[in-house]
Homo-oligomer: A and B are copies of this chain.
Amino acid sequence: MPSASLPAPLDPPVRTLLGPGPSDTHPRVLAAMSKSTVGHLDSYYLQLMDGMQQMLRSVFQTKNRMTFAVSATGSAGMEAAVVNVVEPGDSMVVCVNGVFGGRMADVAGRAGANVTKVERPWGEVFAVGDLKEAIAKAKPKAVGIVLAETSTGAWQPIEEIAAVVRESGAMLIVDAVTALGGLPVEVDRWGVDVIYSGSQKCLSCPPGLAPISFSDRALEGILARKTKVQSWYLDVSMLAQYWGSDRVYHHTAPINMTYGLYEALRLVLDEGLENCFARHRRNHLALKAGLAALGITYTAAQGHQLPMLNAVRVPEGIDDARVRGELLSRFGIEIGGGLGAFKGKVWRIGLMGYGSRPANVLLFLAALEQLLAEQGHQFDGGAGVAAANAAYSSTK
């Protein structure tokens, strides 16, 4: 029963992706992905895997041998982290202050963990004190927390919490999907056991791969499991034989996605991590100044606002969906709406990777000014753009 007619030829519109991800793919990454495919056991591909592991260790700031990319998107990175560490009946504490903490709790429950959720209101972060009691009571094998909550724009400090988790003997699992490449992620210095990310945020690569790193301690725990990892596809004990020197065939790696991430990592490291973080911060501050001039405020508290994901309150009397729809239809700009508790109330403006540049900040503010004025929002015309420009002048 083949269809009579084919769907339309592929012709994607060119967008400016300023949402919660995917972010704009860097042109060099797009070009990389269109190179001709080699075999997944080709010596050239094995060499690329080595180079990618080396670069991932640099961006994660770790010496962890088992640092690689899961052959799927960031959410599969989360699942890989949890299902390898947790066995049925194990206790796990999960910190929930947004969508992704909630997702991790769901994933842990499906892996057979007895899950203790520690909750904070959306937009807030956890302090050490929030966790101590839960850890003492639950005696968890693992504690999960989100470094950059994409649903709320909150930047979670990890270092002190890591020390407490470590002291308890538990493994710390950190979600760095939105964080990696845009703010400091110091796996070894903090003492994180498992950390994962996604290719489509601050790495300027399309979605499809999930960078991940396991400490030697975590890996030893996994190799000593009493039960098989429930997922064959994500079983790190098998993946270690493919990514290690043995090169034992496991699954067929996504070759051209690897080309993309390889090129993306070269771009980040070529710029230098510190420069990259400073650029994210500078564009964030300019955007924030511009938004403030338009009377728009952040959902996360001062000091806990992510540089790459600006979650702000939709101004009183403004039609959320209409603004987002017209940003896209009239200016080709995508921003994100709120999820869950923030639906209709919050905009999520991403300045991630290649997308984090002055041109995008100014374009977005200029376009937003036009739409807000049309909806009767009160502000001095040009105030947003002027404030952003002033912020740029003052920092360079």
Please list the residues of chain A having a beta carbon within 8 angstroms of any beta carbon in chain B.
Answer: 1-3, 6-10, 12-15, 17, 19, 21-22, 24-25, 30-40, 42, 44-45, 47-48, 50-52, 54-55, 57-58, 61-63, 71-76, 79, 103, 106-107, 109-111, 188, 198, 200, 206-208, 228-233, 249-257, 259-260, 262-263, 266, 269-270, 272-273, 328, 334, 339
Given contact pairs A15-B42, A37-B22, A7 touches B233 in the complex (Cβ within 8 A)? no
Taking CB atoms, residues of chain B closer than 8 Å to A48 are 10, 12
Residue of B nearest to A1 (CB): B61
Given contact pairs A1-B188, A9-B266, A74 touches B252 in the complex (Cβ within 8 A)? yes
* Identical copies in the complex: 2
User: What are 18 A-B residue pairs whose CB atoms fall within 8 Å in the complex?
Assistant: A1-B58, A2-B58, A3-B58, A12-B259, A15-B37, A15-B42, A22-B40, A22-B252, A37-B206, A42-B328, A71-B207, A72-B233, A73-B251, A75-B252, A110-B229, A200-B255, A206-B256, A207-B255
Is the beta-carbon distance between A206 and B75 smaller than 8 angstroms?
no
Is the beta-carbon distance between B24 and A12 smaller than 8 angstroms?
no
Taking CB atoms, residues of chain B closer than 8 Å to A249 are 339
Is the beta-carbon distance between B74 and A251 smaller than 8 angstroms?
yes
Given contact pairs A76-B72, A232-B103, A206 touches B25 in the complex (Cβ within 8 A)? no
Whole-angstrom CA separation of A204 from B35 in the bound complex: 14
Is the beta-carbon distance between A38 and B55 smaller than 8 angstroms?
no
Given contact pairs A30-B36, A207-B40, A231 touches B110 in the complex (Cβ within 8 A)? yes
> Which of A15, A47, A257, A273 is most buried by chain B, counting CB atoms within 10 A of its CB?
A257
Taking CB atoms, residues of chain B closer than 8 Å to A262 are 7, 10
Our pick among B3, B40, B260 for the contact of A269 (Cβ within 8 Å) is B3
Smallest beta-carbon distance A104→chain B, Å: 9
Taking CB atoms, residues of chain B closer than 8 Å to A254 are 73, 206-208, 257
Residue of B nearest to A188 (CB): B1
Is the beta-carbon distance between A6 and B270 smaller than 8 angstroms?
yes
Is the beta-carbon distance between A208 and B208 smaller than 8 angstroms?
yes
Residue of B nearest to A21 (CB): B252
Taking CB atoms, residues of chain B closer than 8 Å to A6 are 55, 266, 269-270
Residue of B nearest to A270 (CB): B6
Contacts A7-B55, A103-B232 known; list 8 others, CB within 8 Å.
A1-B58, A10-B35, A10-B262, A10-B266, A12-B36, A30-B36, A73-B252, A109-B228
Whole-angstrom CA separation of A294 from B315 in the bound complex: 77
Is the beta-carbon distance between B12 and A253 smaller than 8 angstroms?
no
Smallest beta-carbon distance A23→chain B, Å: 8
Is the beta-carbon distance between B39 and A15 smaller than 8 angstroms?
yes
Is the beta-carbon distance between A273 and B2 smaller than 8 angstroms?
yes
Whole-angstrom CA separation of A250 from B78 in the bound complex: 13
Our pick among B31, B50, B73, B188 for the contact of A253 (Cβ within 8 Å) is B73
Smallest beta-carbon distance A361→chain B, Å: 19
Taking CB atoms, residues of chain B closer than 8 Å to A107 are 232
Whole-angstrom CA separation of A262 from B6 in the bound complex: 11
Residue of B nearest to A269 (CB): B6
Is the beta-carbon distance between A15 and B33 smaller than 8 angstroms?
no
Taking CB atoms, residues of chain B closer than 8 Å to A200 are 37, 252, 255
Given contact pairs A79-B233, A206-B256, A7 touches B110 in the complex (Cβ within 8 A)? no
Taking CB atoms, residues of chain B closer than 8 Å to A110 are 228-232
Taking CB atoms, residues of chain B closer than 8 Å to A74 are 251-252
Residue of B nearest to A228 (CB): B110
Is the beta-carbon distance between A10 and B34 smaller than 8 angstroms?
no
Given contact pairs A7-B50, A19-B39, A231-B231, A207 touches B34 in the complex (Cβ within 8 A)? no
Is the beta-carbon distance between B7 and A63 smaller than 8 angstroms?
no
